[in-house]
Structure 1
């Protein structure tokens, strides 16, 4: 036992065979699509008028909810795409501003091609990029 393997060896504890939990298992909620299909199937049957009206109202509410869900998914996709665009545009403008400020500091005594108008324009561009929402439909 050069490495002391006997004392460091892990002993496996046998778990009892009936170790299942007594709590109820989590069932995922039924999707909107399945609820809509179920309501449409029910409406195909011959139903009393009040049951049919209730099912039609339920179906209309489910379809409206599904429309909201799809619209939010599209908006999220656009937001995530535009976040990348906004990030890169902001980086480009910030880089130009830093370059221009550095040029003004280094050649403050000389005549500079970098005028304060250009700097103001770049800062305005930066504000535009920060506030503007990119929508391309």
Structure 2
């Protein structure tokens, strides 16, 4: 669960191991808060656009409180009923699937440049090879995940 901290302790660097572990915990809390904020905004947008129940698309004190409460309840339920290793694999799988969709999405966006999409300030280098390599790389890692 803590390979860097373990390696530092085994090599006699107790203080550095403790600092690294503390920074890792703070980083996890920061990432969790960021994901909760982003997820609640996503649920709010879907609710506002009618893709999810309209109550999720309402603001309370300029905050998407309904969406944040729903996301919090879902997160607590998942954390309470599923083992950590399963959730970690699920997050990895979801991230890899998102990377695959982004890579494939380049093929739909590139022909639209200069027509209905303005000329972008950044273009995917080595198009059309690099998006395919990105997709195949993410797919290879995805296949390497646990079957669950």
The structure that has the greater radius of gyration is 1
TM-score with structure 2 setting the length: 0.30
> If each structure's helix is expressed as a fraction of its own residues, which one has the higher value?
2
